[in-house]
């Protein structure tokens, strides 16, 4: 398989507005993404089974249906044609493929690779709790493949070099569809200062990582990527902070935090966009469990 099987994030909930259809391209395929009037997120193969119009370019959400911009055939959330304005009979093959979707903890997810999802992604700890802010988030496009992003989890030796982070203790475990990283260390934020932290970051499948971080600031992070095609992906990241009485201070912290995350990812981007995938790599003691991580990831690359 070209891409790893699993759940991928196509947007934070507020990126996918009710009533608007938009074109998307993921996994090398043309798709239409929208949210129905009642709030259900839908992902369909983009091209209308009739004469092939792209449903994401001018398609209109009408209640629970999507209306094609070319001859106004309508489609239900299951991708089946629900009406043709000038015909009584709906042809049997008048449908477009519906991709499994879900919405969990402020993320809209799409399942890639088989008909039925094989595991669930839990909501981020603190999501929906008034003691926590909602997600502040951002997205960057990167010319790389998902396995490079995931490999960061086990790549102990890159933290001081690339991120200026000193990791005192680092543990990885791999359990079924989860890859778990726990670390204890000190961050030296690019803006100055020093921040002792403990962190637990869990990949739920090959593309969605939820992190709980305790330190000067408690935070909850999301890091999720989705391939556009074999060469490029979208990487989304978001942060929730524990709500603080001082709203102005919190706002400053929030935007500084997102900026810091963006800087952190950009530190990796220069490496990712220009590196070559080594299989097998030459490793040394102290590298972290890169082989184990690769074997864990491989489970998603074999047919279900
Ligand atoms: S192409 Fe979609 S209704 Fe004709
Ligand atoms: Fe990194």
Ligand 1 centre to CA of 33 (Å) is: 17
Out of 21, 66, 73, 75, mutate this one to test ligand 1's pocket (max ligand atoms within 8 Å of CB): namely 73
Average pLDDT, the chain: 93
Ligand 1 contact via 68 beta carbon (within 6 Å): yes
Q: Which ligand has its closest atom nearest to the C-alpha of 149? A: 2
Ligand 1 contact via 75 beta carbon (within 6 Å): no
Radius of gyration, CA atoms only, the chain = 21
Ligand 2 centre to CA of 264 (Å) is: 7
d(CA 296, CA 175): 9
The angle subtended at Cα 178 by Cα 34 and Cα 31, nearest 5°, is 20
Out of 21, 30, 46, 48, mutate this one to test ligand 1's pocket (max ligand atoms within 8 Å of CB): namely 48
Cis peptide, bond prior to residue 280, ω within 30 of zero? yes
Cβ(53)–Cβ(23) under 8 Å? no
pLDDT for residue 115: 84
Give the nearest ligand 1 atom to 84 CA: 3
Say whether pLDDT at 66 is over 70: yes
Full set of structural domains in the chain with CATH: 6-112 (2.102.10.10), 136-298 (3.90.380.10)
d(CA 179, CA 207): 11
d(CA 100, CA 129): 27
Taking only the tens place, the pLDDT of each residue in 38-64 is 999 999 999 999 999 999 999 999 999
List residues bridging with 233 in a β-sheet: 142, 227
Q: Which ligand has its closest atom nearest to the C-alpha of 70? A: 1
Say whether pLDDT at 230 is over 90: yes
Which band of pLDDT confidence, cut at 50, 70 and 90, is reported for residue 248?
Answer: confident
List residues bridging with 226 in a β-sheet: 234
d(CA 217, CA 132): 12
Residue nearest to atom 3 of ligand 1 (CA): 71
pLDDT for residue 190: 61
Taking only the tens place, the pLDDT of each residue in 204-224 is 999 999 999 988 778 999 999
Say whether pLDDT at 191 is over 80: no
Ligand 2 centre to CA of 64 (Å) is: 42
List residues bridging with 220 in a β-sheet: 212, 240
The angle subtended at Cα 82 by Cα 78 and Cα 68, nearest 5°, is 90
CB burial readout 76-108, b (16+ within 10 A) else e: bbebebbebeeeeeeeeebbbebbebebbbbbb
Cβ(178)–Cβ(204) under 8 Å? yes
Burial class of 60 by CB neighbour count within 10 A (0 to 12, 13 to 18, 19+): middle
Give the nearest ligand 1 atom to 68 CA: 2
Model confidence, pTM: 0.94
**Alpha-carbon distances of 239 from 90, 191, 217, 280, rounded to whole Å:** 47, 18, 11, 35
Say whether pLDDT at 1 is over 70: no
Which range (17-26, 108-117, 160-169, 290-299) has the least confidence?
160-169
> Which tokens is 148 given?
């490079």
Backbone angles phi, psi at 291, to 5 degrees: -60, -45
Residue nearest to atom 1 of ligand 1 (CA): 51
Q: Give CA torsion, residues 78, 80, 84, 87, to 10 deg.
A: -140
Which range (77-81, 97-101, 187-191) has the least confidence?
187-191
Q: Which ligand has its closest atom nearest to the C-alpha of 74? A: 1
Out of 47, 51, 67, 74, mutate this one to test ligand 1's pocket (max ligand atoms within 8 Å of CB): namely 51
Q: How far is CA 222 from the centre of its chain?
A: 8
Q: Which ligand has its closest atom nearest to the C-alpha of 50? A: 1
Taking only the tens place, the pLDDT of each residue in 250-272 is 888 888 888 888 898 999 999 99
pLDDT for residue 27: 98
d(CA 187, CA 180): 20
Q: Give CA torsion, residues 54, 236, 205, 41, to 10 deg.
A: -40
**Which residues, including other chains, have CB under 8 Å from residue 222's CB and lie 6 or more apart?**
9, 107, 124, 135, 137, 208, 209, 210, 211, 236, 237, 238, 239
């Amino acid at each position: 398989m070209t891409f790893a099987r699993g759940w991928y994030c196509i947007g934070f909930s507020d990126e996918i507005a009710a009533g608007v259809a938009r074109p998307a391209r993921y996994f090398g395929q043309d798709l239409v993404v929208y949210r129905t009037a009642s709030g259900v997120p839908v992902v369909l193969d983009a091209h209308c089974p009739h004469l092939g119009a792209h449903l994401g370019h001018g398609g209109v959400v009408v209640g629970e249906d999507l209306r094609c911009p070319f001859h106004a055939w309508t489609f239900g959330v299951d991708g089946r044609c629900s009406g043709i304005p000038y015909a009584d009979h709906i042809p049997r093959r008048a449908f477009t493929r519906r991709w499994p979707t879900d919405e969990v903890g402020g993320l809209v997810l799409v399942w890639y690779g088989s008909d039925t999802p094989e595991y669930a992604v839990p909501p981020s700890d603190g999501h929906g709790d008034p003691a926590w802010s909602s997600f502040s988030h951002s997205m960057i496009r990167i010319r790389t493949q998902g396995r490079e992003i995931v490999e960061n989890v086990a790549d102990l030796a890159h933290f001081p070099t690339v991120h200026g982070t000193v990791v005192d203790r680092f543990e990885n475990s791999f359990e079924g569809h989860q890859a778990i990283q726990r670390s204890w260390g000190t961050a030296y934020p690019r803006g100055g200062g020093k921040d002792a932290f403990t962190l637990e970051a869990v990949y739920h499948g090959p593309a969605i990582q939820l992190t709980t971080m305790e330190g000067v600031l408690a935070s909850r992070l999301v890091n999720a990527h989705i391939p556009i095609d074999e060469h490029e992906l979208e990487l989304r990241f978001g942060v929730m902070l524990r709500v603080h009485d001082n709203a102005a201070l919190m706002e400053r912290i929030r935007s500084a935090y997102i900026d810091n995350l963006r800087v952190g990812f950009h530190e990796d981007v220069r490496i990712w966009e220009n590196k070559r995938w080594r299989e097998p790599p030459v490793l040394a003691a102290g590298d972290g469990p890169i082989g184990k991580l690769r074997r864990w990831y491989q489970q998603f690359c074999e047919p279900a």
